[in-house]
Amino acid sequence: MTEEKKLSIIIPCYNVEEHILTLLQTLVDQYNEHLEIILINDGSTDQTAYKLENFIRNHVGKSIYLFSFINRGASKSRTAGLSYAKGQYIAFIDSDDLISDDYIIKLLTATAQNPDLIYYSSIQQKRGETGYNYKISFEENSIIRDSDAFLNNQLKKNYWTAAVWTYIFKRSLVQKSCAVFTDRSAHEDHLFSLSLLAYAKKIVIIKSILYIQLITKGSLTNSKKDISYIHSRYQAYRECKKLVEANFTKQTISTYQYWSLEQCYGIWREIYSLRSLVYNWEFWKMCFRNKDFGQFVLNKILPIGL
pLDDT digits (tens, 9 = 90+) for 145-185: 999 999 999 999 999 999 999 999 999 999 999 999 999 88
Domain that holds residue 276: 227-301
Mean pLDDT across 261-281: 90
Q: Is 221 domain-assigned?
A: no
Which pTM value belongs to this model?
A: 0.93
pLDDT over 80 (residue 218) = no
- Measured at the CA of 135, the angle between CA 132 and CA 138, to 5 degrees, comes to 105
Q: Is 306 domain-assigned?
A: no
φ and ψ at residue 100, rounded to 5 degrees: -75, 165
Q: Is 118 domain-assigned?
A: yes
Mean pLDDT across 97-102: 96
Q: What is the pLDDT of residue 26?
A: 96
Q: What is the pLDDT of residue 2?
A: 52
- Verify that 170 and 245 share a domain, yes or no: no
What pLDDT, in 10s, does the model give residues 40-69?
Answer: 999 999 999 999 999 999 999 999 999 999
- Verify that 126 and 236 share a domain, yes or no: no
| 217 band by pLDDT with thresholds 50, 70 and 90 | low
Q: Is 222 domain-assigned?
A: no
With b meaning 16 or more CB within 10 Å and e meaning fewer, what string describes 113-142? eebbbbbbbbbbbeeeeeebeebbebeeee
Question: How far apart, in whole angstroms, are the C-alpha atoms of residue 226 and residue 264?
Answer: 12
- Verify that 109 and 206 share a domain, yes or no: yes
- Verify that 98 and 128 share a domain, yes or no: yes
What pLDDT, in 10s, does the model give residues 231-262?
Answer: 999 999 999 999 999 999 999 999 999 999 99
Domain count, the chain: 2
